[in-house]
Structures are given as C-alpha cells and as structure tokens.
Amino acid sequence: MAMQQITILGSTGSIGVSSLDVIARHPDQFRVFALTGHSRIEVLAEQCQRFVPAFAVVPNAEAASQLSALVPAQTRVLCGVEGLIEVASHSDTDTVVAAIVGAAGLLPTIAAAEAGKKILLANKEALVMAGALFLDAVKRGGATLLPLDSEHNAIFQCLPPGFTGVSGAGLSGSGLSGTGVSKLVLSASGGPFRTTPIEQLMTVSPDQACAHPNWSMGRKISVDSATMMNKGLELIEACWLFNVAAADVEIVIHPQSIVHSLVEYVDGSVLAQLGNPDMRTPIAHALAWPERIASGVARLNLTELAALEFEPPDAVRFPALTLARQAGESMGDAPTALNAANEVAVAAFLTEQIRFPRIAAVVAEVMAGWQGSELACLEAVQDSDSRARRLAQASVAGYQDEV
C-alpha cells in the first residue's frame, strides 16, 4: 500500500480520535497531513504535537492565535470554512476523513469530492442534506467514497464485487435489479430508551440520552440514536450510497450491536458483517480498502456472546423513523429540511430548552408544512436548510415553557 497523506476533518471528535488511533498503529502506511477542530483547541494542540501535521484548522482568528502558540513550528494554522476547504482539497492530501458533525461538514466534504480525494464518510448529514449534488461532485472529481458509518461499511463489505454505488450513481428508483441483491437491512441498537416506559421520556435528561448502551459517540449522534433519527438519516444515506430506493432498506433493532448490518440476496442467502462495537473496525477497513490492516479492536469471541436478538422498531416509540422514511421517499429537499430541523431540535434538547419527545415533534411540525423543491445547486441547499432551521426555531419556542 502506498503511503497515504490524511486529512481528518473533525479530528477532536469521537470518530477523529478513533481514526488517529488506527493511523498511529501504521506509521509506515499513513501520515497525518491536516487536523481540524472547533471548540476543543487543547485537544487539537495535543494531536498536533503528537502527529505534526502540515496544517491545523480552527474556526476563527482568535482560536488560530491560541493554537499557534501550542503547535510545532512545522504546523501552519488556518481558520474558518476556507481553511477547512483548503486542507480538504489540497494537492498534497489523498485521503480525507469527513468526521465533522452536522451540516458544517458539507462544504469541505464537497470540496474533497471535487478534488478527487478518497473520502471516508462519517458525516452522514452532508450526504442526507445534499445527496445528488454531493454524488455529482464525487463523479465529476473522480473521488472514491467509502462509508465509515458502521452499518454502511458492513453493507459495503457484504455487497457483491463490483456493486455500483460507492462511486455514486445517485438515486434512480431501485439500483438492485440485476445485482442478485433483494434487500439491505440496517441494524439499530434501539438506543438507551428502547425499553423505557414511553411516559417517562418527557423527563429524561441529555446525559441519559447520551449514555448509549454499546457505542461511545459524540453528543449529537448519541441523541439521534436515542430518538432513532440516526437510523432514519442512515436510511437516506444508504439510498444515496448504494443507489437504492427507501423501500429496499429495512430497519431492524438488534440491541447487542454485534451484527452491524446485512444484505439479503434473491436466492435466500443473507450476508452479515459482525464485530465488536468499535468504530476502529470500519475506519481501518476504509483506510486500507481494498486491503486489510489491524485496527486494535478486540476479537469477537462467538462462544462468549449472549444470544443475538432482533425485533422490529416500534413506530410509536420512535416517530423519527417514519419522518425520515417519508423524507427518503419524497427526496428533493425533504431530507435537507429533515436534517436541519433535527439539528435545531437536538441542540435545543441538549441545552435543555425542550423535552426529549419534542425533538421528533419539532421535526414533524417542520415536515408537515414543508413545500418540497428540487436542489439544483448548493445555494438551494443552503436556502432550504436555513428555511427549515427558522421553522424549527419557531417550533422549539412553542415547547420551551414545558421545561
């Protein structure tokens, strides 16, 4: 394997830290080219001292001067979205780990696609909010898009060789015909509230929502897992990545998070990818693809496993799933609105402005009145995103007196 120069967008987060852990195990194969952070400047400084990247990126000039005093002389500090775009598309980097959370990751990830990079995509929100434009950029730039989300990475591993999708064919009805694949099955843990009495959900705290039973993740995705909006976003992500319709993707709850997802074939075979719930496995898979490297993840001991359980998701407990499926069926800018409304609602819950069940209620209100349109350009994405955020803020305001 040739030496890869790697940019990590969002290196201070959960995926970023796991990526650096895998990279550090293979100094002969990977070199860190650029690291980026947002609020955790000290963590970014420590990462720069350890990996000595050519660039580090922070949100603004103030953070840049703070970081500059803490990093090695070889590391140039940039700031803002322009800095993120510069390191994502720089001619000296070949691999970009897209691990910024939420809509903020869109522009640098698109820049990496247009520049023809190998993109390891964790930032599912970017694909959800601008799927067609994102995949156009991948095709135009000749980029390679590999899924880091454990479920999509599992499906990628179980699909037949040469399956079209990862290089971005886009959504056009069902991409399954003629492939021998009959269905994709996304597994979901069900999050921390899978069995909590529904009436108690009005009083759960942000910390309880972020206490995921199997995975250690950032707070936004942890809340998304608790509402199962995460699985809804993943459904839309799967449609774009694998060129399938929403109806081709089934969601099944699997509380142990050992079976990461499955592919069903027309002959009745079902292929699954199993492993301990640790993001270093999909990260190592995508970093080395099509080869394999060690990830540091503990081996799965089948004889020590308890029973593996599967159950259908409860639509009453998890209304976000239905909202996401509807957005995935209508496409256009419906997923953009869904994602934006969800980001506003999750932020409001995490700052204790609204109760947990109101996250889905806010998204439902925005989607109920949403006049869908097609997304011809990135400005249209930004317009739909801003409009949905304004509607979601108004909806949040209506629930604030409950807190």
Positions touching ligand NAP (CB under 6 A) are 10-16, 37-40, 99-101, 104, 122-125, 149, 215, 217-218, 220-221, 279
> What number of CA atoms fall less than 13 Å from residue 169's CA on the CB side?
16
Q: Distances in Å between the alpha carbon of 12 and those of 41, 44, 354?
A: 8, 6, 28
Question: Which is closer to ligand NAP, CB of 137 or CB of 350?
Answer: 350
Length of the chain: 403
Q: Which is nearer to ligand NAP, 224 or 365 (CB)?
A: 224
| Minimum CB distance to ligand NAP smaller for 123 or for 157 | 123
Q: At its nearest, how many Å lie between ligand NAP and the CB of residue 87?
A: 12
For the CB of residue 222, give the shortest distance to ligand NAP in the complex, in Å. 8
3-state secondary structure of 383: helix
Shortest Å distance, C-beta 15 to ligand NAP: 4
d(CA 400, CA 393): 11
- Beta carbon nearer to ligand NAP, 84 or 360: 84
In angstroms, what is the minimal distance from the CB of 266 to ligand NAP?
A: 29
Side chain identity, residue 136: D
Output 146 or 176, the one with its CB closest to ligand NAP: 146
For the CB of residue 232, give the shortest distance to ligand NAP in the complex, in Å: 12
CA distance 130 to 122: 15
DSSP state letter for 300: P
Nearer to ligand NAP, 93 or 123 (CB): 123
Q: How far is the CB of 122 from ligand NAP (least distance, A)?
A: 3
| C-alpha count within 13 angstroms, C-beta hemisphere, residue 182 | 8
Q: Which of 121, 115, 110 is nearest to 8 (CA)?
A: 121
Smallest distance, Å, CB 28 to ligand NAP?
26
* CA distances in angstroms from 72 to 44, 48, 56, 221, listed in the order given: 12, 7, 11, 32
Q: Closest CB to ligand NAP among 176 and 388? A: 388
Tell me which residue has tokens 């390191």. Answer: 87
Question: With b meaning 16 or more CB within 10 Å and e meaning fewer, what string describes 366-399?
Answer: bbeebebeebeeeebbbebbebbbebbbebbeeb
